[in-house]
């Protein structure tokens, strides 16, 4: 693939379950990939995987000119920093409150804000510019409040639906794994449908209930309408189909936030 001499950015979002990588060429996402998060995987092992991803797009290590990393897994932060330095020969930009983000971190302990939550807040501030609730469906489901004037105001963290499912199955001897989809009726007439009702529709109720309470709290704090609810993460589209509270799906929200942070911190 010809890159025209422009910046080729590798964006890396390291979550508790998956590592998402995006390749930005000429201002467009040329490819995105997902890999399992393995805490003790070595830089050399991930380097082989990243090289395979790049080669599938006819990109060599040497063509990557910038790397930006968001991580909530400290051991893998170090792994990908080393990978970038050794294999790509690029000093990566690691997201933290210490770099330019273009937002205010208006919470009690800014240093404790998860990098992924800050990245999403950056993207929403730049791309939408409205009062917003960002729902990110991952290992945890996070609800983040971003004000129209560009402040990250905190939010709420709930167990992800997969975590809730696994916890129930592991603690109840007669309950087994199920598909996380809505059953034919909320009234389950067998164990599988009863579990699907409780887990899936219970989770929809959690989403709708928290969104309602968060909107009330935002208005009490002077963040008035419109308040947009923006969803991202692996299961966002599934819940969007079964709840009216989500206004917009943004599957690349975190990658877009990483792109913006790279631009804010690029030399010149």
177-235: per-residue pLDDT in tens?
989 999 999 999 999 999 999 999 999 999 999 999 999 999 999 998 999 999 999 88
Question: Does residue 57 surpass a pLDDT of 70?
Answer: yes
CA atoms lying within 13 Å on the CB side of residue 65: 13
139 exposure class (CB count in 10 Å sphere: 0-12, 13-18, 19+):
middle
Question: Does residue 50 surpass a pLDDT of 80?
Answer: yes
Q: Identify the active-site residue in 13, 26, 108, 116.
A: 116
| Matching residue, tokens 């692996």 | 234
- What pLDDT, on the 0 to 100 scale, is given for residue 88? 95
Q: Which of 122-126, 129-133, 171-175, 221-225 has the lowest mean pLDDT?
A: 171-175
Percent of the chain with pLDDT over 70: 97
Active site residue 116: yes
Q: Walk me through the domains of the chain, giving residue ranges and CATH numbers.
A: 8-94 (3.30.420.40), 104-256 (3.30.420.40)
SS3 category, 116: helix
- What pLDDT, on the 0 to 100 scale, is given for residue 26? 87
CA distance 104 to 92: 23
pTM (2 decimals)? 0.91
Question: Kindly report the CA angle at 227 between 223 and 230, in degrees rounded to 5?
Answer: 130
pLDDT band of residue 5 (cuts 50, 70, 90) is: low
pLDDT band of residue 173 (cuts 50, 70, 90) is: confident
Q: Compute the average pLDDT of residues 121-135.
A: 97
Higher pLDDT, 2 or 157: 157
172 exposure class (CB count in 10 Å sphere: 0-12, 13-18, 19+):
exposed
Summarised one tens digit per residue, pLDDT across range 59-76 is 999 999 999 999 999 999
CA distance 48 to 106: 40
């Amino acid at each position: 693939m010809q890159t025209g001499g422009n910046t080729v950015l590798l964006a890396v979002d390291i979550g508790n379950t998956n590592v998402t990588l995006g390749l930005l060429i000429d201002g467009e996402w040329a490819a995105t990939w997902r890999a399992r998060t393995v805490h003790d995987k070595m830089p050399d092992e991930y380097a082989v995987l990243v090289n395979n991803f790049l080669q599938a797009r006819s990109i060599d290590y040497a063509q990557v000119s910038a790397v930006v990393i968001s991580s909530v897994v400290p051991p893998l932060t170090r792994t990908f920093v080393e990978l970038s330095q050794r294999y790509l020969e690029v000093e990566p930009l690691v997201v933290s409150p210490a770099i330019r983000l273009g937002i205010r971190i208006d919470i009690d302990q800014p240093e404790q804000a998860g990098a992924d939550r800050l990245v999403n807040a950056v993207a929403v501030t730049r791309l939408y510019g409205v009062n917003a609730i960002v729902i990110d469906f991952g290992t945890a489901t996070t609800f983040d409040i971003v004000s129209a004037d560009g402040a990250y105001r905190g939010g709420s963290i709930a167990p992800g639906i997969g975590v809730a499912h696994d916890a129930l199955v592991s603690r109840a001897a007669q309950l087994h794994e199920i598909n996380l989809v809505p059953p034919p009726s909320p009234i389950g007439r067998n164990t599988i449908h009863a579990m699907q009702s409780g887990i899936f529709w219970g989770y929809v109720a959690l989403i709708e209930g928290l969104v309602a309470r968060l909107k009330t709290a935002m208005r009490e704090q002077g963040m008035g309408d419109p308040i947009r609810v923006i969803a991202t993460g692996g299961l966002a589209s599934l819940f969007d189909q079964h709840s009216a509270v989500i206004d917009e799906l943004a599957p690349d929200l975190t990658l877009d936030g990483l792109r913006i942070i790279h631009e804010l911190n690029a030399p010149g």
